Amino acid sequence: MHSLSSYLTLSEEVQTALQEKRPVVALESTVIAHGLPYPANVEVAQAMEAVIRGKGAVPATVGIQEGKIVVGLSHDQIERLGTAQQVQKVSRRDLAVTLATGRLGATTVAGTMLCASMAGIRFLATGGIGGVHRGAETSMDISTDLTELSNTPMLVVCAGAKSMLDLDLTLEYLETQGVPVIGWQTDELPAFYTRRSGRRLSHRVDDVATLAAIAHAQWTCSLHGIVVGCPIPERYEMDGSSLDAAIEEALQRASAQGIHGAAITPFVLAHIANVTVGESVEANKALLINNATWAARFARAYFS
Ligand code: PSU
Ligand code: MN
């Protein structure tokens, strides 16, 4: 018989922090394996861990290796995920197969929520959550991130979602799933590379104590995921209209090349990075570090 512990490995640092009820922030690894080019991916993964430690919390980067969920990947394990050629993108549907076949896997937001919550972690920092794709009314391409948020008690700090998605449908879907989306010091859903999306949110919070109180209320009432949208820092914000053109072009190319499903996001990200000569990669790094910083502050407020 297998028990959950035979599939779950926690780093010593993470295990101790959880036992002592200290704040831990989970980090996804799809952004490392599929979202950013090497070496920016590994650099930003280390930088996120460093700012989380600097704010008095413990980082737990999640990945799948040799049949185990690893919560708290080592530097070498992160390097491996950031350089390996064949890495499985692991969302909820992929977890068991990846574990049983011993493949190397990088977890999406959904996969990270699932794995980190097995370890008892409540906070997660990422860049952008997945969402409802444009044209989903015929493709039905809706990220599992959204349903995971309705199933798993975790606060996910992100810079909103990319405008390659249908942001209106994404918000509608989250509402249907009962997931609160909170603007951090903003009235609008941030749109990843840009601070504003033009979509007004129903909730805005400006201080960490209120956010911690919301998390306590949510989870005490056995409710599940919370999304907190933190806008990209101003000096890294990109020009929305040229981005839209790049996204449009990438989506057309993807469709012409028959790329769909889980492969779309990495394809579009790579195209935008090319077209913007790396500016998008710098912006992506900056917002990831910003989100990690806030997630650590939120976790600290929650555990204080
Ligand atoms: N959005 C980004 N960069 C990313 C992702 C989303 O700007 O790297 C990744 C995240 O890991 C997210 C996943 O959870 O893509 C969503 O993929 P899908 O749409 O296949 O569920
Ligand atoms: Mn999808």
Among 81, 108, 158, which is best to mutate for testing ligand 1, by the most ligand atoms less than 8 A from CB?
A: 108
Q: What's the 30 CA to ligand 2 centre distance in angstroms?
A: 13
β-strand pairing of 105-107 with 88-90: parallel
Q: What's the 5 CA to ligand 1 centre distance in angstroms?
A: 27
Are the CB atoms for 55 and 293 separated by under 8 Å?
Answer: yes
Tens of pLDDT along 200-223? 999 999 999 999 999 999 999 999
The CA distance from 297 to 52, in Å, is: 8
Q: Is 23 in the pocket of ligand 1 (CB under 6 A)?
A: no
Chain length of the chain:
304
| Over residues 221-239, mean pLDDT | 97
Are the CB atoms for 23 and 123 separated by under 8 Å?
Answer: yes
Ligand 1 atom closest to 111 (CA): 14
Ligand 1 atom closest to 192 (CA): 7
If you search the block for the tokens 């600290």, which residue do you land on?
A: 300
Q: Is 108 in the pocket of ligand 1 (CB under 6 A)?
A: yes
Closest Cα to residue 247, out of 165, 124, 175, 177? 165
Start-end of H helices in the chain: 12-19, 30, 40-54, 75-83, 95-101, 109-118, 136-139, 144-151, 167-176, 208-220, 240-256, 264-275, 279-303
> First CA to last CA across the chain, in angstroms?
39
Residue 52: which region, alpha, beta or left (left: phi > 0; alpha: psi -120 to 50)?
Answer: alpha
The pLDDT mean for the chain works out to 96
- Taken in order of first residue, the domains within the chain and their CATH numbers are 4-303 (3.40.1790.10)
The predicted model scores a pTM of 0.97
Tens of pLDDT along 76-127? 999 999 999 999 999 999 999 999 999 999 999 999 999 999 999 999 999 9
